[in-house]
């Protein structure tokens, strides 16, 4: 007669944290300044303002927007501010950076919103593998967030972890 199957991972009391779950479902798009520059190199204020006034800003409705310039041009600070002034009534949120940087900033912001006390005296495994790429800064942020309150932090999967921190 065979022994009943015992799920030791489920009985371990480990709490698994998947950082990908903190990335909002809103679409992330980028606003590249390059096409609005003179010869895609220089910003001429009058032309820049005219080109921005012709944009249908509703296309950014409820989206997360990253502003960046894909060419090596000097962009005055007010130009970014002008773009934000136009985007603000429509975009869910606005960041400075390309798509990857914007995704990183959004994730870091979401990690800061976590109530660390929900993990008080728990053994936490921060998921290390997944379909969504997660940058190093998110793992640093979650470790800083949880370390003061948890019993332990591990990296990986509940069945195979690397110890990171253990309360003494």
* 120-138 pLDDT per residue, tens: 999 999 998 778 888 899 9
- Check whether residue 77 and residue 122 sit in a common domain: no
pLDDT, residue 53, reads 95
Tokens of 4: 């009943």
Say if residue 37 is in the same domain as residue 86.
yes
Coil, strand or helix: which one is 156? strand
Query: Are 14 and 50 contained in the same domain?
Result: no
* 72 CB-near residues (< 8 Å, 6+ apart): none
Query: How big is the chain, counted in residues?
Result: 168
Determine the pLDDT at residue 85.
98
Please tell me the predicted confidence (pLDDT) of residue 12: 57
Helix and strand numbers (H, E) in the chain are 5, 7
Query: Does residue 50 lie in a domain region?
Result: yes
Determine the pLDDT at residue 130. 78
Q: Say if 103 falls within a structural domain.
A: no
Residue 16 lies in a domain: yes
The predicted pLDDT at position 157 comes to: 84
Residue with the bigger pLDDT between 96 and 1: it is 96
pLDDT, position 15: 92
- Answer yes or no: is pLDDT of 73 > 90: yes
| Site of tokens 């800003």 | 57
Whether residue 99 is contained in a domain is answered as no
Mean pLDDT over 28-57 rounds to: 95
- The better pLDDT of the pair 160, 101 is held by 101
Q: Please indicate, yes or no, whether residues 32 and 76 belong to a single structural domain of this protein.
A: yes
Across the range 15-20, mean pLDDT stands at 93
Decide if pLDDT at 3 tops 70.
Answer: no
Tell me the two tokens of residue 31.
């606003």
Domain boundary, last residue among 49, 76, 91 = 91
Q: What is the pTM of this model?
A: 0.82
In a domain, 132, yes or no: yes
Q: Which residue bears the tokens 């997944």?
A: 130
Would you say residue 14 lies in a domain? yes
Residue 107, in any domain of the structure: no
Instruction: Give the pLDDT score at 5.
Output: 46
Query: Domain span at residue 75?
Result: 28-91
* Domain count within the chain: 2
Instruction: Examine residue 137 and state whether it is found in any structural domain, yes or no.
Output: yes
């Amino acid at each position: 007669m065979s022994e009943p199957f015992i799920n030791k991972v489920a009985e371990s009391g480990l709490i698994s944290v998947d950082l990908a779950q903190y990335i909002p479902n809103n679409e992330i798009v980028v606003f590249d300044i390059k096409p609005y520059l003179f010869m895609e190199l220089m910003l001429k204020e009058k032309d820049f303002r005219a080109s921005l006034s012709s944009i249908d800003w509703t296309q950014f409705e409820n989206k997360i927007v990253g502003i960046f310039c894909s060419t090596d041009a000097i962009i005055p600070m007010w130009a970014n501010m002008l773009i934000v002034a136009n985007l603000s009534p429509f975009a869910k949120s606005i960041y400075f950076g390309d798509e990857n940087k914007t995704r990183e900033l959004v994730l870091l912001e979401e990690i800061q919103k976590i109530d660390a006390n929900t993990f008080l005296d728990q053994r936490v495994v921060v998921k290390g593998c997944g379909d969504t790429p997660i940058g190093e800064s998110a793992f640093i942020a979650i470790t800083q967030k949880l370390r003061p309150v948890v019993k332990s932090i591990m990296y990986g999967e509940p069945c195979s972890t690397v110890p990171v921190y253990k309360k003494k």
